[in-house]
C-alpha cells in the first residue's frame, strides 16, 4: 500500500510536469510550422492537455481495468467543469468573447448526449469506439476549417499573444519527445498505484478513476486555466476545458474502447453520466450569452463548486 501511494503521488507529479512540457513544445512546434493561432488553441493545446487522460485510459484498458479507463475520462469532464471552471470563476469571473467557443458549447452537449446514449446497453463495443473516433475525426476536420477562416476571433487573438515568446524548433521537438516519454512512464506508474489502492481499500476501480485519477489527470487544465484567468485571457480558460472535454468524450473513450471492449458499470449510467450531462448543459446556460457576451460570474462559479462537492460526497456514500 505504501509503495502504491508513493507510485500514485510520483505518477501525478511527473504527469503534470511532462504534460506542461508536451503542450509548450507542441504549441511552439506548430507555430514554427505556420499553424494558425486558433488551430493551436483548439487542437494542439486541447490534445496536449488531454494527453494524460488518453494515456491513462489506454493503459487501463490494455491492462483490463475498465473502471479506471471510463471513470478517468468522465471524471475528468466532471472535474473540468465543476471544480476547475468553478474555482476559476470564483477567483475571477470569466467573460467569453469568442464566437468559436460559443459554437463549441452546443456541440459539446450533443457529443455528450450521443456518447452517453451508446452506453445504455451497459457495454462499450469496438463499434461504439469506432463511431466515437469517427465523430472525433469529423469534429477535428470542422475545427481545422474554422481555424483557417480569416475573420479574427478573441480566442485566436489570446492564443497568439500567449504563445508569442519564441522557442527554437529543435528545443520544441525535444520537449515533445521528453514530455511524451515521461507521460507514458508516469501513466503506467499511476495506473499501477491506483489499481493497488482500489484493491486495498476495497472500492471499485471506477471510484478511483472518477476521483483521484480524474483529478490528477485534470491538473494540467487547472494550472493553464488559472494562469489564463490571471492574465485576463478568459477565452483560453474556457477553451482549455471545452477542448479537453471534447477530446475526453470522443478520443479518450474511443481509443480505450478500440484497445479493449468493456462492460459499463450500472453506476456510470445512473450516477456519473447524468452528472456529466447536467454539468455540460449548465456550462452552456451559464457561459453562452444569449443576448450579450457570455460570462460565468462568481455565484455561478460557486454553484459549480458546490455541485462538485455534492458529487464527490455522493461517490463517497455510494462507495
In three-state secondary structure terms, 92 is: coil
pLDDT tens for the chain, 319 residues: list them: 788 888 878 877 887 787 777 777 777 777 777 666 666 766 777 777 778 888 888 988 988 888 888 999 999 999 999 999 999 999 888 888 777 788 889 999 999 999 999 999 999 999 999 999 999 999 888 877 776 665 666 666 666 666 555 678 788 788 888 887 887 788 788 788 887 887 787 888 888 889 888 888 887 778 778 777 777 777 777 888 888 899 999 999 999 999 999 999 999 999 999 999 999 999 999 888 776 677 899 999 999 999 999 999 999 887 7
Q: Residue for cell digits 490571471?
A: 230
CATH of residue 107: 1.20.1420.30
Contacts of residue 176, defined as CB under 8 A and 6 or more positions apart, other chains included, come to 22, 25, 26, 29
Using alpha carbons, list the distances in angstroms from residue 211 to 208, 219, 276: 5, 12, 14
Q: Residue for cell digits 513544445?
A: 25
Q: How many domains does the chain have?
A: 1
Using alpha carbons, list the distances in angstroms from residue 266 to 6, 81, 114, 211, 269: 31, 23, 17, 17, 5
Q: What is the pTM of this model?
A: 0.87
Could you tell me the three cell numbers for 259? 484497445
Can you give the residue range of the structural domain that contains 173?
Answer: 2-318
31, 22 in Cβ contact below 8 A?
no
Amino acid at each position: 500500500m505504501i509503495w502504491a501511494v508513493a507510485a500514485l503521488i510520483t505518477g501525478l507529479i511527473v504527469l503534470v510536469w511532462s504534460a506542461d512540457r508536451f503542450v509548450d513544445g507542441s504549441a511552439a512546434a506548430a507555430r514554427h510550422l505556420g499553424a494558425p493561432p486558433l488551430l493551436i488553441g483548439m487542437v494542439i493545446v486541447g490534445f496536449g492537455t488531454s494527453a494524460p487522460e488518453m494515456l491513462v485510459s489506454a493503459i487501463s484498458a490494455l491492462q483490463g481495468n475498465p473502471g479506471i479507463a471510463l471513470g478517468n475520462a468522465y471524471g475528468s469532464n466532471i472535474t473540468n467543469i465543476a471544480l476547475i471552471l468553478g474555482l476559476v470563476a470564483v477567483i475571477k469571473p470569466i467573460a467569453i468573447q469568442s464566437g468559436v467557443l460559443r459554437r463549441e458549447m452546443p456541440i459539446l452537449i450533443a457529443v455528450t448526449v450521443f456518447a452517453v446514449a451508446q452506453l445504455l446497453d451497459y457495454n462499450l463495443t469496438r463499434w461504439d469506439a469506432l463511431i466515437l473516433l469517427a465523430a472525433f475525426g469529423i469534429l477535428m476536420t470542422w475545427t481545422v476549417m474554422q481555424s483557417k477562416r480569416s475573420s479574427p476571433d478573441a480566442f485566436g487573438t489570446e492564443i497568439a499573444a500567449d504563445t508569442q515568446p519564441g522557442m527554437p524548433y529543435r528545443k520544441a521537438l525535444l520537449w515533445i519527445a521528453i514530455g511524451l516519454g515521461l507521460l507514458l512512464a508516469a501513466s503506467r506508474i499511476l495506473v499501477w498505484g491506483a489499481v493497488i489502492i482500489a484493491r486495498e481499500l476495497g472500492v471499485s476501480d471506477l471510484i478511483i478513476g472518477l476521483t483521484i485519477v480524474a483529478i490528477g489527470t485534470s491538473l494540467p487544465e487547472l494550472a493553464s486555466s488559472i494562469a489564463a484567468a490571471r492574465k485576463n485571457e478568459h477565452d483560453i480558460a474556457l477553451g482549455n476545458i471545452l477542448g479537453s472535454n471534447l477530446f475526453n468524450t470522443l478520443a479518450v473513450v474511443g481509443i480505450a474502447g478500440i484497445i479493449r471492449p468493456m462492460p459499463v458499470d450500472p453506476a456510470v449510467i445512473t450516477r456519473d453520466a447524468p452528472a456529466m450531462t447536467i454539468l455540460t448543459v449548465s456550462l452552456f446556460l451559464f457561459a453562452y450569452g444569449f443576448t450579450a457576451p457570455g460570462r460565468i460570474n462568481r455565484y455561478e462559479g460557486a454553484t459549480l463548486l458546490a455541485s462538485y462537492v455534492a458529487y464527490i460526497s455522493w461517490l463517497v456514500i455510494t462507495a
